[in-house]
Amino acid sequence: MTVIDFPALAASAASGNEIAVFEALLATVPNKTEKSTRSTVATRMEAQRQAIEDFDLDQLLALRDKMNNIIDKMSTNIGSGELRESAALNDQQAEELMSEFLDEREVDEFIKVRRDMIRDEVFAHLDEVADVPGQNGALEVKALGKKFCREGAGTGVPQVDEQRLQALLGDRWLEACDEVIIPAEIIPERIEYQLSVEKVLDLAQNDHAVLEALRTCLVPGKAKTPRFVVRDL
């Protein structure tokens, strides 16, 4: 907990130096953007990505050793489990399982990082050779009978801000809508008005201001998150 020097603040206030008071108080506010030292998946994977990009031999060789030792650790632990007469683990057995798990987790995260880097390179290639970047595409690797694919790319369907369009059209709003009768169920039968783009365009033929109103009320579709997959040729 930060200790506030109230006498110093009072002295600054008494001298009319309000800025010093404000700056001193702001300095006591916890910095929410300060990075945590706690190990998380994100921090570990970022460190691994940095090691690959920097070609950090020490870290890469250490990881290679863990890869080579995982099968040995796994075989030892499986064999130990088969020989146990009880499901209860002693301290040594728990430590050996934890050691195997941590190594496997680190290798798994490393592979995911490298796979993401491959995806970034493939997507950059597809953007470079395409007429329009960010679209679906494929990079064939005929020697291996496979192809990298970017699927599900592009943007979503634009939407109409109906509340704004209704305000712009005013009394003509109902002319731009279909009348829909909602049959009685829990509540009595009622009539709803649903926007009809076809009717809006009909109105716009005689009044271009209607088309302009529709244009200003369009909300662009959000960019989709593309999938990175490998498929057979």
Please give the pLDDT value at position 34.
54
What is the count of structural domains for the chain? Answer: 3
Could you report the per-residue pLDDT of 42-99, keeping only the tens digit for each? 888 888 888 888 888 888 898 899 999 999 999 988 888 777 778 888 899 899 999 9
Within a domain: 141: no
Bridge partners (DSSP) listed for residue 229? 149
pLDDT-based confidence at residue 144 (cuts at 50, 70, 90) = very high
Average pLDDT over residues 121-137: 93
Distances (CA, A) of 190 to 6, 156, 194: 66, 32, 13
Do 66 and 103 fall within a single domain? yes
Do 56 and 115 fall within a single domain? yes
Do 16 and 45 fall within a single domain? no
Domain enclosing residue 210, as ranges: 162-216
Do 55 and 87 fall within a single domain? yes
Average pLDDT over residues 144-156: 93
pLDDT-based confidence at residue 201 (cuts at 50, 70, 90) = confident
Question: CA triplet 10, 12, 15: central angle to 5 degrees?
Answer: 110
Q: What are phi and psi of 128, to 5 degrees?
A: -70, -40
Within a domain: 138: no
Q: What are phi and psi of 121, to 5 degrees?
A: -65, -40
Q: Flag whether the pTM goes above 0.95.
A: no
Please give the pLDDT value at position 32.
56
